[in-house]
Amino acid sequence: MAAHRIDDTHGAGLQSWLASANHPATDFPIQNLPYGRFTVGDEPGWRIGVAIGDQVLDLQHAGVLDHSDMARLLALAPEQRRVLRRTLSEGLRQGSPKEATFKAALHPQASVRMGMPFDVGDYTDFYTGIHHATTVGKLFRPDNPLLPNYKWVPIGYHGRASTLRVSPDEFKRPMGQLSPGNGAAPTLQPTKRLDHELELGLVIGQPSQQGEPIAIEDAEDHLFGIVLLNDWSARDIQAWEYQPLGPFLSKNFASTLSPWIVTMEALAPYRQAFTRPEGDPAPLPYLDSARNREQGAIDIALEVWVQTAAMRASGHAAERLSRSNFTDAYWTAAQLVTHHTVNGCDLRAGDLLGSGTISGPAPEQGGSLLELTQGGQRPLTLANGETLGFLADGDTIVLRAHCEREGYRRIGFGECRGTVLPR
C-alpha cells in the first residue's frame, strides 16, 4: 500500500519558499498538499488546486497537470499519486528551480471561490462510532444499546449525493412529518431538533469492477483521501420515519464537506495500530489483515465549534463543543471499503463513504448535540449565557481536524462550516 509509506516529503524539517507554509499553526504546510477545486472571479469551470500555506497552487498553470478533470486525478494508481506528490513537494521546497514557475501559479485562498472538491457519484454513510452508537442506543434501549450485529458487520446505508454541498454552506431548516406520540396523527412542520454530526468522508479514487470484491490488503489503494463531513440530522423527523428502513428525509436535506481532500499519502505518519477492546469478537477473516491490525487506524483529532446568531452579532468567536478522534471508530477505512464491495458492488472514482458520527468515550466528547445534551434534556450553557439544546436558526457549526505526531509536522483539514437558515 503506497499510502502507508513515509518518505522525505513528510520530513519535519522540510521548508517551503512560501513563508506562510512554514507557519507552525497552518493547516497546509508542505507536508500536507491537499487537493481541491476553485475558480477565480467569474470564470466558468473549475481548476484543480493544492493548498499550500495561505495560497492555492493552480496545477495546470504550474505545468503539473494538463487537465482539470478531478475524476481523472482521483482514479490515478497509487504509484502515480506518489509521483505527483513528489513533483509538488520538490517544486514548493526552498531552493527549488521551479520556484518562479510555481509562484506565478499561486492565488491567495482568500481571493478564490472553492467548489465541491470532487463530483460525488454515490454516497454511503456508515455507523463506525461505537461511542456514538452506544450513547444514542441508551436513549432508546437503556438495557440493550448496541444491537447484536454491530460488532460483526460495518453498519451503513445509502444516502443522497444531490444535497452534498461544500463549506461554507447555508441551508434552510428542513420540513418533515413530526409525530406528537400517543397515537395522534403526525403533522408537517419544520424540524425542532436539528443536529450536527461530526464525520469524516472517505473519498474513493481508483475504481473497482462489479462482481470483484476488494481484498482488505488492497482496500486503501482505492482510497484517494479524506474530507471533513457534517451529515446534518433532523432528530424528530428521524424518530418518526426511521423504522423499518432507516433515515430518509431526516438526513437527505443537507450534508456539508470541507473543500480540501487530505490524501492518504499525507496521512502516512499518523497511522496507528487497530485494536478491539478485550472480549470483543475478532473481525471475520475478510475484514482482517496483519497490515490493518498494525496500521489500520489513523490518528485524526476532531473538533466541533458553534457560533450562535447572538454570538456573531456581538462579535463573539465560535466556542468549542467537543473533541474526539478517528481512532475512536470501531471499523477502519480499509474495512469499510472491503465490506462495501464483498457482495460484488463496484466503487467509482468520486464515491463518498461517510464514517458516521465519531464520538469519544467521555460524555463531553459527543459528536452530536443528541449526545451532548442527552436528547435535549440537558441543554448546554455557552460562555455568553445562552443555552443550546438543538440548533436554532442562524446557528453556525464548524468542524475542524488535524494530525500531530512527535517528529512530524502538524497538518490540518481546513474548516467544514455550515449555517442554519430559517424556513
Q: Which residues are catalytic?
A: 132
What is the Cα–Cα distance from 80 to 421, expressed in whole angstroms? 43
Please, are residues 205 and 345 in contact by the beta-carbon 8 Å criterion?
no
Burial 184-202 (b: 16+ CB within 10 A, else e): eeeeeebbebbbbbbbbbb
What is the Cα–Cα distance from 292 to 279, expressed in whole angstroms? 19
Please, are residues 129 and 135 in contact by the beta-carbon 8 Å criterion?
no
DSSP 127: -
Residue type, 156: G
Q: Which grid coordinates are listed for 26?
A: 497552518
DSSP-assigned letters across all residues of 345-406: ----TT-EEE------SSGGG-SSHHHHTTTTTSPEEPTTS-EESSPPTT-EEEEEEEE--T
Residue type, 144: N
What is the Cα–Cα distance from 356 to 103, expressed in whole angstroms? 39
3-state secondary structure of 102: helix
